[in-house]
């Protein structure tokens, strides 16, 4: 009932580990898979090792809502290749998130990840506290990098979209035109908190990205709008911590979802969500979660009456 086919990737569950959460070592990814995830997405990996920003780099600002500014800290692709090979020994569906300072560096990292066994590549062009966000706010740059990568890569290519733009649809359409196999919507929202006693930002970097429950309705709206515009699959991401959240994403048009922030509680939340979705499908006489996709678009919203 929970199986999905995502651009050729056959997943036992529509739930995918989001990039940046637990996706840096085999042991952590194994826990996520054992809990019932259909695939895992690694932390964003670059061409060389990067320390990222100093602490405090992540804080909980409301229950279930966090702000982070990790700064794309990672070991670099040459070191991470061994981790990819270890993961693939255990037949775990693996999406490797990549970034770079140029199209050529994105390709270098993606190619090494693909050669090491990655099942798909996700390009991070939208992190709000790193330089890569400059790509994801420009439809021409988005089109060019996707087209450039697709000329070489064999595995599916997913593009993580930036919600901090005026028109996310034009960015998604540019990715689709470039040959993307799917889009991930959404990345974190640019945010900031100030300590009133020190009178400086709480995060060491200053600003950061907002994730968790507070952004869920925003993510739902973005996926709803994207579903009406693009033909490629949409992976919904933002504030999932219940089975209802996953069902909601499918109803607005998602083909799969990513979960991240909620895992601060326990990886077992994935098991609980899978169970809840299964019960919902049975109770409503659906044979597959795929049957839910886009159903909310069958209903018209209330129109403003015409009094002329």
Please compute the mean of the pLDDT values over residues 156-178 and round it to a whole number: 96
Query: What pLDDT score does 197 carry?
Result: 96
CB-based contacts of 259: which residues, under 8 Å, 6+ apart? 15, 16, 17, 18, 37, 237, 240, 241, 269, 270, 273
Query: What pLDDT score does 128 carry?
Result: 65
CB-based contacts of 72: which residues, under 8 Å, 6+ apart? 44, 46, 50, 52, 99, 124, 127, 130, 132
Query: What pLDDT score does 131 carry?
Result: 67
The set of catalytic residues is 127
Give the position of tokens 């060389």: 48
Give yes or no for residue 3 having a pLDDT over 70: yes
Tally Cβ neighbours within 10 Å of residue 45.
32
Which pair of structure tokens corresponds to residue 12?
A: 């036992």
What HEC string does 194-252 produce? EECCCCEECECCECEEEEEHHHHHHHHHHHHHHHCCCCCCEEEECCCCCHHHHHHHHHH
| CA 237, chain centre distance (Å) | 5
Helix (H, G, I), strand (E, B) or coil at 259: strand
Q: What is the pLDDT of residues 228-255, one digit of tens each?
A: 999 999 999 999 999 999 999 999 999 9
271/231 Cα distance (integer angstroms): 30
Give yes or no for residue 300 having a pLDDT over 90: no
Q: What is the pLDDT of residues 124-153, one digit of tens each?
A: 997 765 666 678 899 999 999 999 999 999
Strand partners of residue 66: 60, 211
CATH topology of domain 4-51+71-188+210-298: TIM Barrel (3.20.20)
| Cis peptide leading into residue 296 (ω within 30°) | no
Query: What pLDDT score does 57 carry?
Result: 84
Strand partners of residue 40: 17, 94
Give yes or no for residue 189 having a pLDDT over 70: yes
Strand partners of residue 98: 45, 123
Which pair of structure tokens corresponds to residue 193?
A: 């908190």
Q: What is the pLDDT of residues 65-76, one digit of tens each?
A: 999 888 788 899
Q: What is the pLDDT of residues 167-176, one digit of tens each?
A: 999 999 999 9
């Amino acid at each position: 009932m929970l199986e999905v086919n995502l651009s050729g990737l056959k997943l036992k569950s529509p739930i995918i580990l989001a990039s940046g959460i637990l996706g840096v070592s085999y042991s952590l990814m194994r826990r996520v898979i054992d809990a019932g995830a259909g695939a895992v997405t690694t932390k964003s990996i670059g061409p060389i090792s990067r320390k990222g920003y100093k602490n405090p780099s992540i804080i909980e600002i409301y229950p279930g809502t966090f702000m982070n500014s990790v700064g794309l800290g990672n070991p670099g692709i040459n070191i991470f290749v061994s981790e990819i090979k270890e993961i693939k020994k255990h037949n775990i569906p693996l999406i490797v998130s990549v970034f770079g300072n140029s199209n050529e560096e994105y390709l270098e990292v993606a190619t090494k990840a693909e050669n090491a066994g990655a099942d798909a590549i996700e390009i991070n062009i939208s992190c709000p506290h790193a330089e890569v966000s400059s790509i994801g706010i420009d439809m021409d740059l988005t089109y060019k990098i996707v087209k450039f990568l697709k000329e070489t890569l064999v595995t599916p290519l997913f593009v993580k979209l930036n919600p901090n733009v005026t028109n996310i649809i034009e960015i998604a359409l540019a990715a689709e035109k470039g040959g993307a196999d799917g889009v991930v919507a959404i990345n974190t929202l640019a945010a900031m908190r100030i300590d009133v006693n020190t009178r400086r930002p709480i995060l060491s970097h200053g600003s950061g990205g907002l994730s968790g429950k507070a952004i869920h309705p925003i993510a739902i709206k973005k996926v709803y709008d994207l579903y009406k515009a693009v033909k490629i699959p949409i992976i919904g991401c933002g504030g999932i911590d219940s089975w209802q959240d996953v069902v909601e994403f499918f109803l607005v048009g998602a083909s799969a979802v990513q979960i991240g922030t909620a895992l601060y509680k326990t990886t077992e939340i994935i098991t609980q969500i899978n169970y809840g979705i299964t019960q919902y499908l049975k109770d409503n006489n659906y044979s597959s979660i795929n049957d839910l996709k886009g159903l909310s678009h069958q209903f018209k919203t209330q129109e403003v009456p015409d009094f002329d």
